[in-house]
Amino acid sequence: MKKNNSYKIFNDCLERLKAEWTDSIKPFIEFDKNQGRKYDKFIQEGDVVMKREPEPKDHIQTFLKIPPEQLYDIYSRVYTDEDCDGSPYEVMGELTNATALTRDGKIIPIEMGKRVLMFNEEKAKYFEQRKIANLLKSLHFQFIQKLATEVMRAMLVVCSELGYKNKDFSLDKFFTFSDGIIKDKSQPKIETLPKYNAFNLLFKLNNFLKHNTVQAYLTLKKHYPDNIDKNNKTRYENGMYAGDFVYLQAGYFDKIFDKLLIFFAEYCKVILGETRD
C-alpha cells in the first residue's frame, strides 16, 4: 500500500458525498422552485424551520401568540366557515358597530370574527409548512444514514487492504482491528484523535435511526444529550421512529465533512503510520 493510500480512500469518499450534499440536496432544501420560496435549512426544536416573509399585519402575529388552550377556546366557541358561508363577520348583518349575528343566533365581536378568519389562513399555512418541514427533516436523516454507510464502506476497504479478512464488519471490529495495528501501545487511541466526537456522533445517530431501539436512544442521550429533542416529551419506546426524537444543530452538514476529513487524516497518521504528500 502506498504511504498515503488510506487517506486518499477516505478523502475521495467524503469529497464525493460533500459534493452530493452541496450540489444536489442542499439546493433542494433551500429553494423550492415550484413554490418560489426560500427556506432556512436548519433544524430547530425538532423541526426544520423555514424562513418566511414577515406578515404586514402585526395583530395576526399577536393573535398567534395566544396560548393554545385559549386559542382552542376561541376557535371552538365561535363558528365554522359552514356556519357563516365563509364570511364570518358579515353573517345576517351587523347588530352594532362591534357585533355580528351568526346563523345559529350567536352574537360575536366583529373583531373576533376577523381574527378567526385570519387564524384559519395562518393555520392552513402552518400545516402546509409542517408537511414540507417533515419532508426536509426526512432528507436530513436519510443523508446521515447514507453518509455513515459510505464512510463505513471506506473503513472496510482500508482495513481489507491492511489485512482484514473477516466477512463481517462493524464499528467494534474497526476499533479492534485498528488497535491491533498499533505497535507502540503508548500511542493515542482512536477515541483521543481530533474530531473524534464528530465521527462518534455520526455513528450514534445512524445507530438510533437504523434500529429505533431504547438502547440506541439511551446511548445517544448519554453521550450527546444536546442531540435529543427536548421538546418531545414522549417517553421513547422500542419501535418508535427515531427521527422524532433527534435534534440536529444548524449547519450540521456544512461542517461534518471537514471534521471527518480531519479525523481520518489523524487516524491514518497516528494509527496507520502513514504520511501525506
Residues 262 and 14 sit within 8 Å (Cβ to Cβ) = no
Looking at 72-76, 164-168, 186-190, which range is the least confident one? Answer: 72-76
At 83, the amino acid letter reads D
Specify the higher pLDDT residue, 29 or 39.
29
Q: Taking the model in full, what pTM does it have?
A: 0.69
Question: What sign does the dihedral 197-213-169-139 (CA atoms) show?
Answer: negative
pLDDT recorded at residue 277: 60
Q: Is the pLDDT of residue 209 over 50?
A: yes
Q: Is the pLDDT of residue 138 over 70?
A: yes
Residues with Cβ within 8 Å of 112's Cβ and at least 6 positions away in sequence, in order, are: 74, 78
Shortest CA distance to 140 belongs to which of 76, 229, 53? 229
Cell of 268: 491514518
117 band by pLDDT with thresholds 50, 70 and 90: low
Q: Is the pLDDT of residue 37 over 60?
A: no
Count the alpha carbons within 13 Å of 257 in the hemisphere toward its beta carbon: 19
Q: Which DSSP helix (H) or strand (E) runs through 184?
A: none
Mean pLDDT, to the nearest integer, of 159-168?
93
